[in-house]
Structure 1
């Protein structure tokens, strides 16, 4: 496994990892979600087929990557970062892209901003626990007035974090674990997974967390999915996901002629932890399909 820092065009430094044959025809690029980092894929990587080349990295403002400059904590900029990462570590060959939560939104923004690249090189996409639109009224699965209150609190918190000037959230590990357990996991999660998700949250840059939360609320890339309409893909969703619901997943699948919808009963938002085997199998299937495509 090779780890390195890559400097983006705007000067932001991203932490990147890669493994597998450098001359592989197919590279799997794994993009994590909001408040998390590349460790999101820890349980998935060992389950990928032997010999598969993969790349994962920390989004700007997350994990070991640098905080973004003011005004650059946007999903559009994340798509630009993805292009730069690909150009640096996988300049040739075909791509299978897997995105969790905001990582899936990043892939949609990539299709929107770089359709020629996507049509030329992307042979498969895995959208895991994500949405193409309608994230501005998230109720966290709470009914009626409680859902409306949750939405108002979420928006106020995003604004506060955007103005926060420290490097770490003022949150204890216990509080982070309790919040993660309720918010992003389904039934009976592993304690180690809850602890890992909480640790990733505590490493994220607070102002970036707030800015990206606002971006998620504005996210609408439904039309961009037309670029991927005929590309083999899978859309995965946990039936107990409080953030990106099965309704969001169906909306993506409806736009993809070659996309399959996979629902995971009882799982929450963190499918790469809760259903790592299923996620890895779906990515492996996309790799096998890509390997046997006419372009091979």
Structure 2
């Protein structure tokens, strides 16, 4: 299937790169929001699997978050989850203005989805399925990267700034030739078992190319991220929450909190997997995403003004 490169201009003037696959009149649009310091290829396995299964039956949309990939570099103060949610809304308005939506978010992409009820509440009734992958609704300041509390908190708070300083002080060509720190971070903190070399190398390359403001700005905002109170807005929307048992960045208890906060949500824990589930457990992530798409295609489009109340 042909894919087309597009862009939207954010409310603060940033160019956001968007890739659109599938016809404008498809009965369902699927949007995949990627991980912090990554870009749209975070979902490349799932894109391949969705296209093989559905072809022209869906519209598939990926994009590079502000400050990532082919989108514009963003100032540190502009690297926030609310702005990501508004960017997502703009992508929807431009390339999926009508019909039901299935949304999937990995890491900060999932946090972005939890901000939709605040930033774009008009979209909630269009959501026909949600997949939260290796993400959280809040309390990241309690994560210790699997280390003892004091040492873990210290490393958690310093590591993003170490990477940001490398990006500022060393040329891209030097970081590409000697990505020792980035490779150690990826292997030690981002992947579980087994970790395929090609996947680790892909993530290392993304880390090497990440802007320093992207690393430091989003880290600061994620530490303050608290959208636990927004989860009820997703009640009764078909929702699946996925996490690896060895995820050190957004541990299983964070996934469990999302699942408890959304009425009817399913929680699946992948044994031995780390934070990069779309790479590490391709078949699981693709199968759960396809299950949501199948369900959305089989049901009428959500009606406007639907009211959900907690039991």
- TM-score by length of structure 2 reads 0.88
1:11 is aligned to: 13
Paired residues of 2:239 and 2:264 also in contact (CA < 8 A): yes
2:26 is aligned to: 24
Q: Distance in 1 between matches of 2:282 and 2:225?
A: 26
1:143 is aligned to: 148
User: Deviation at 1:148?
Assistant: 3.4
2:249 is aligned to: 243
Q: In structure 2, which of residues 120, 127, 130 is the aligned counterpart of residue 122 of structure 1?
A: 127
Q: Distance in 2 between matches of 1:167 and 1:79?
A: 32
Paired residues of 2:33 and 2:110 also in contact (CA < 8 A): yes
Paired residues of 2:74 and 2:213 also in contact (CA < 8 A): no
1:107 is aligned to: 113
Partner-residue secondary structure (3-state), 2:23: coil
Matching of residues 144-293 of structure 1 within 5 Å? 144-154=149-159, 157=162, 171=175, 172-293=178-299
Greater fraction helix: 2
- TM-score by length of structure 1 reads 0.93
Q: Deviations over 1:62-113 (max 9, x none)?
A: 1111112452111100001000011111111110000000000001111222
1:66 is aligned to: 72
Matching of residues 84-95 of structure 1 within 5 Å? 84-95=90-101
Paired residues of 2:26 and 2:59 also in contact (CA < 8 A): yes
Note the aligned Cα RMSD (angstroms).
Answer: 2.2
Paired residues of 2:103 and 2:130 also in contact (CA < 8 A): yes
Q: Distance in 2 between matches of 1:39 and 1:70?
A: 23
Measured at CA, do residues 77 and 166 of structure 1 come closer, stay the same or move farther in structure 2, by a change above 3 Å? farther
Paired residues of 2:137 and 2:227 also in contact (CA < 8 A): yes
Partner-residue secondary structure (3-state), 2:85: helix
Paired residues of 1:132 and 1:221 also in contact (CA < 8 A): yes
Q: Distance in 1 between matches of 2:150 and 2:60?
A: 44
2:39 is aligned to: 37
